[in-house]
A and B are shown apart, each in its own frame.
Chain A
Amino acid sequence: EVQLVESGGGLVKPGGSLRLSCAASGFTFSSYSMNWVRQAPGKGLEWVSSISSSSSYIYYADSVKGRFTISRDNAKNSLYLQMNSLRAEDTAVYYCARPIGWGQGTLVTVSS
């Protein structure tokens, strides 16, 4: 069974940084592209970033380009999202996701 467990969320001031992690199990992590998706309070789903299985291809939504960095460690079955220069509009639950398989999410709140 695919399991994805996010961690690292919390309260941070505007302009601050946070690093999210996602621990994967139940599938061959190194064979799959992975994604971060976020959901602002009361809003729909928004794709944030994707990384290919070997990290060769990386993509970002325009809303986070230049501020967020996605990475992975296949030896540790882990996915990461480094978030810098955070803004109030980045407040959301962040999910680690595959087409089949989502984590439970971790809440990021950006507020002074």
Chain B
Amino acid sequence: NFMLTQPHSVSESPGKTVTISCTRSSGSIASNYVQWYQQRPGSSPTTVIYEDNQRPSGVPDRFSGSIDSSSNSASLTISGLKTEDEADYYCQSYDSSTWVFGGGTKLTVL
């Protein structure tokens, strides 16, 4: 079993770039795909990144995902921040066939 650790909150100004990290506690981050979900207040989650760095159709290219084996972490980068990006973001990976979620990061755009 492993855990995914995310910062509790991040904040940045409109137009800037922010990166949210997701660190795997044991085992290689590269051994299982990572997904990123956005959850706006009062709404259900939506996928912004799947399979480490793939964007579903309709997700703007301001959103990008990557993994870094040296820090054993995945990252979600949002460039050209907009106020509509303000939301909770969750990373998710797999432990055998079960899902593991990070605790979530609240992004404030101010």
Contacts and interface: CB of A to CB of B under 8 A. Distances in A.
Contacts of B96: 59
A99 B104 contact: no
B4 to A, nearest CB: 11
Contact of B99 (A37, A52, A104): A37
Contact of B50 (A35, A37, A100, A103): A100
Given A102-B46, A103-B44, A47 B56 contact: no
A61 B44 contact: no
By DSSP majority rule, is chain B's interface helix, strand, loop, or mixed? strand
Interface of A: 33, 35, 37, 44-47, 50, 52, 57, 59, 61, 93, 95, 97, 99-105
Contact of A102 (B33, B44, B101, B102): B44
B14 interface: no
B46 A45 contact: no
Nearest to A44: B104
Contacts of B98: 47, 50, 59, 61
Interchain residue pairs A-B with the least CB separation, the first 6: A47-B99, A44-B104, A45-B101, A102-B45, A100-B47, A99-B50
Contacts of A101: 47
A66 B51 CA distance: 31
Given A44-B104, A45-B37, A45-B90, A102 B99 contact: no
B45 A44 contact: no
Contacts of B92: 45, 99
